[in-house]
Amino acid sequence: MSNDAYTLASEAAAALKSAAGLDTFDVALVMGSGWVPAADALGETVADIPFTELPGFRAPAVAGHGGKIRVVRTEQGRHALVFLGRSHLYEGRGVDSVVHGVRTAAAAGVRTVVLTNAAGGLRPETQKVGDPVLISDHINMTGANPITGTTFIDLTEVYSRRLRTLVHEIDPSIAEGVYVAFRGPTYETPAEIRMLRTLGGDMIGMSTVLEAIAAREAGLDVLGISLVTNPGAGLSGDPLNHEEVLEVGRVTATRMGILLAKVVDRL
């Protein structure tokens, strides 16, 4: 990360603390496509801060993403930063823009980040549309990395085993899988889906991986959760569309919010 990106994240964190009237925060959650309604189940809203009021943030360009950071007080008194929306690499704003939210959260004192996303399922034989899947590992096929230079980050355990164990204690039925990230914005071809299954992928999407790498660079513990919103291209015979992704998110939002609330209060 360039010095300018560090500075911008620090400035955004200071503005965030000032707007929320808090000195620090316990956890950050980044909500993926269709996950926004789940934020309502997390606790009491302390403040809603538009992205455009904070240095380095821009309004999301994607339907189904919000455009603000919600500060939430949970039942146990923890303060969570809920990012209602995110930037994607395919928007053309650069890698620093994609990971600015995570870096801002780290600068604001957060030590744990929960990254959620909507994903295509690569294993329809075991995954149902609407199932949450814990991310156990990832394959980065975006062609990008938020870290440049000679900073070498160990990615043996990007997604915290401890946090995944905690989720399994709350809901033992949740499966785990490997998330594959493409740049987008095109959905994958059937041939690419066959390739990814061969490589060991279980879910496919266009986010999360770069944020997870930036979070690990900052020393944060990462929990990743995908919501399977559709089978991968060629696995069902139906074309893919973004509205379907959002609709599955809306239908399952309450369940996801309850799960996240339980997780956050046990961190």
What are the residue numbers of the active site? 188
Using alpha carbons, select from 13, 78, 14 the residue that is nearest to residue 46. Answer: 78
d(CA 129, CA 252): 10
8 Å CB contact between 49 and 19:
yes
Structure tokens at 88: 């994607």
Closest residue by Cα to residue 75 from 257, 222, 221 = 257
Q: How many other C-beta atoms can be found within 10 angstroms of the C-beta atom of residue 108?
A: 24
Q: ∠ CA 32-60-205 to the nearest 5 degrees? A: 35
**H-type helices in 21-158, by residue range?**
95-107
Looking at residue 263, its amino acid is V
3-state SS class at 22: coil
Chain center to CA of 265: 18
Residue 189: DSSP 8-state: P
| CB within 8 Å of 186: residues ≥ 6 apart | none
* Sign of the CA dihedral with 168 first, then 170, 175, and 179 last: negative
For residue 69, what are the β-bridge partners?
49, 83
